[in-house]
Amino acid sequence: MIIAAAREINDYERIFVGMRLPITAYGVARLTHAPNAVGLFESGVSRYEPAKDMLYTMCDGPNQLGAAWTTGLIQIMGLLSGGRVHAGFIGGAEIDRYGNINTSYIGDFDNPDVKLPGSGGAPDIASMAERLIIIMNHEKRRLVEKVDYITSPGFLGGGNERKMAGLSGGGPAVVITDRAILRPYGPKNELHLAAYHPNHTVQEILKNTGWDLKSIPDVHETASPTKIELEALHQIDKDGFWRN
Amino acid sequence: MGAALENAIPFAVTHELIRQRFQNLNMVAPISDISTDMLIGAGCVKTVTGAWVGNVSGGMGHNYRRAAEKGIPNTITINDYSNFSIGMAFFAGAYGLPYIPVKSILGSDITKSNSSIKMATNPFSDEHEPVALVPALKPDIAFLVVQRSDRFGNSHIWGSTGLTQEASIAAEKIIVLADEIVEPEVIASDPGRVLIPGFGVNAVCHVPAACHPSPLIGRWKRDNDFFHDYHKETRDRAGFENWCDQWIRHLPDHEAYRTKLGDRLETLRIIGDAPSAPANYAAE
């Protein structure tokens, strides 16, 4: 899953890296096919080379030592807001068929059933990056028909609703889960199944998705991790903390 | 509290607010890791103004959930923001702007759940171009942890600073917690490393490791196990009360806390050397 996500980063791109799995995926990308990618962290850090030690938060010492730039949040997120970031990487608690993500409230926001931690910088990344890479676990209760609350906007109600809301570009380019890869497809920009990971089936994926997930015409199996990719992953995530 | 996001969080202040049984606080921060969660659990918080509350490496904040879902120990009001929009709100507050237009929360339900945010259109555009207007945020007090300060409030901060500058200048009062107190000449030797105006600081406190368990660049490593243990032990209400008694309420002050941590704290002290290249300010 992390390796599939790492593959979405192109060389020389400026990538906004969100917490947890995205940091690991960026590290793998840099060590494999995207050695010139630039990582941007919303607390105010920009890095070329990944941190030498495992990170629990983006503010940890190893992420700052040898950084390309340490600055404030407005400066680094201003790059995003100014349209200078190629891709943003975020995780999601709940996602719907149009790639809208909920990390705030399940139920009514005035009286929630479940209070999730909140938005962090995710809405900013979701709205302003040229494209969004989403990474999350694939469970029916997390891939829902319609999120209760849109923390981070995908394509809203589909079609051109995102543009009508005032977001001129961007939007989810891909959703990577531990079972599959989904991509927006068709005029409504609805998420479709693009690939199923090795040892997973289309049937299983449909069963674990909360809407009638359609497939793209040439849906196929995700390419297996290469030896180089696996070595990079082990190097970045030495203790297996984020993989478990 | 927690303007720098996950580092330099003034946990020493968190503890003291709990010890002194402050109530009805409006905790303002983009992300302050478990600090806000502790304060909520201890009954100090009425309002949360921020972008994220939880346990960054552990997951959800159990106290935050209990308060928002069940009103335990009390109900709380949540003012939702994204990191960039709360940053711009502080920016407006710092520099005397009544509000500031942002686009980064367009399409987000933050514009619905936060009733202070108003929708408008760009008056300079011929096309219909939506913008979200975020009013200025001006906290009453900003508590900051800095690596070193002189006793007049002139301080050096290095590493990522999050919203430290904007949030402090926007605040009515600034209280600095310095890991080390130095002579004025040390600070004056590098005015470029000063982030907040010393003349705006109301008080300087010398509190080593005030940031524990969060990291402070060049000084203290993050105590990852502490966050993990907090997550485990505060899963239920009784667990939190017990944790809070053990680590906060039954300790008279931060010095006692540091003593209790003992060797554990010493292992977090940064002893390596990675000094920056000197910058020559000589005028002739």
Residue A41 φ/ψ, nearest 5 degrees: -120, 130
Both tokens of A167, joined, read 């977001």
- CA–CA distance, A70 with A30 (Å, rounded to integer): 20
Number of Cβ atoms within 10 Å of the Cβ of B199: 8
Mean pLDDT on B254-265? 98
- CA–CA distance, B235 with B34 (Å, rounded to integer): 13
Q: Where are the beta strands (DSSP E) in A81-164?
A: 87-91, 94-95, 101-102, 105-108, 111-115, 131-135
Q: Which of A43, A73, A149 to mutate to test the interface with B (most CBs of B within 10 A)?
A: A73
Whole-number Cα distances in Å, B160 to A19, A45, A58:
16, 6, 9
Q: Is A56 on the interface with B (CB under 8 A)?
A: yes
Q: Is A68 on the interface with B (CB under 8 A)?
A: no
Residue B211 confidence (pLDDT) above 80: yes
Label residue A19 by pLDDT band (50, 70, 90): low
Residue B178 φ/ψ, nearest 5 degrees: -100, 135
Q: Which amino acid is at B205?
A: C
Mean pLDDT on A88-92? 86
- Residues of A annotated catalytic, as ranges: 42
Contacts (Cβ under 8 Å, ≥6 apart) of B17:
B25, B39, B42, B44
Question: Between B18 and A52, whose confidence is greater?
Answer: B18
Q: Which amino acid is at B154?
A: N
Residue A234 confidence (pLDDT) above 90: no
| Eight-state DSSP code of residue B245 | I
State in Å, rounded, how far the first CA of chain B is from the last one.
42
Q: Where are the beta strands (DSSP E) in chain A?
A: 14-17, 38-41, 45-47, 69-70, 87-91, 94-95, 101-102, 105-108, 111-115, 131-135, 172-176, 180-185, 190-196, 215-221
Pairing of strands A180-185, A190-196: antiparallel
Label residue A50 by pLDDT band (50, 70, 90): confident
Distance from CA of A202 to the nearest CA of B (A): 30
Q: What is the residue-averaged pLDDT of chain A?
A: 92
Q: Is B82 on the interface with A (CB under 8 A)?
A: yes
Q: How big is the CA angle at A77 (ends B199 and A9), to the nearest 5 degrees?
A: 150
CB-neighbour burial class of residue B24 (10 A; exposed 0-12, middle 13-18, buried 19+): exposed
Residue A217 and residue A195 in contact, taking contact as beta carbons nearer than 8 Å: no
Whole-number Cα distances in Å, B192 to A172, A210, B200, B277, B281:
40, 54, 17, 13, 10
pTM: 0.94
Considering only CB atoms, A56 lies closest to which of B218, B222, B270, namely B222
- CA–CA distance, A61 with B274 (Å, rounded to integer): 11
Label residue B267 by pLDDT band (50, 70, 90): very high
- CA–CA distance, B245 with B71 (Å, rounded to integer): 21
- CA–CA distance, B157 with B169 (Å, rounded to integer): 15
Q: Complex ipTM, two decimals? A: 0.95
Q: Is B60 on the interface with A (CB under 8 A)?
A: yes
Residue among A205, A37, A29 at smallest CA distance from A191:
A205
Both tokens of B184, joined, read 């004025």
Distance from CA of A42 to the nearest CA of B (A): 8
Mean pLDDT on A213-229? 94
Label residue A244 by pLDDT band (50, 70, 90): low
The confidence score (pLDDT) of residue A218 equals: 94
pLDDT in tens, A124-158: 999 999 999 999 999 999 999 999 999 999 999 99
Residue B29 φ/ψ, nearest 5 degrees: -170, 150
**Residue whose pair of structure tokens reads 């590290």 in the numeric block:** A27
Q: How many CA atoms lie within 13 A of B188 on its CB side?
A: 6
Mean pLDDT on A52-72? 92
Task: Give the relative orientation of helices B62-70 and B237-244 as an angle to the nearest 10 degrees.
Answer: 130
**Percentage, residues of chain A above pLDDT 90:** 81
A155-184 residues touching B, CB cutoff 8 A: 156, 162, 165-167
Distance from CA of A217 to the nearest CA of B (A): 30
Task: Give the relative orientation of helices B11-19 and B254-261 as an angle to the nearest 10 degrees.
Answer: 120
- CA–CA distance, B234 with B67 (Å, rounded to integer): 13
Mean pLDDT on B38-65? 93
The confidence score (pLDDT) of residue B106 equals: 96
- Structural domains of chain A, ranges and CATH numbers in brackets: 2-236 (3.40.1080.10)
Mean pLDDT on A209-218? 96
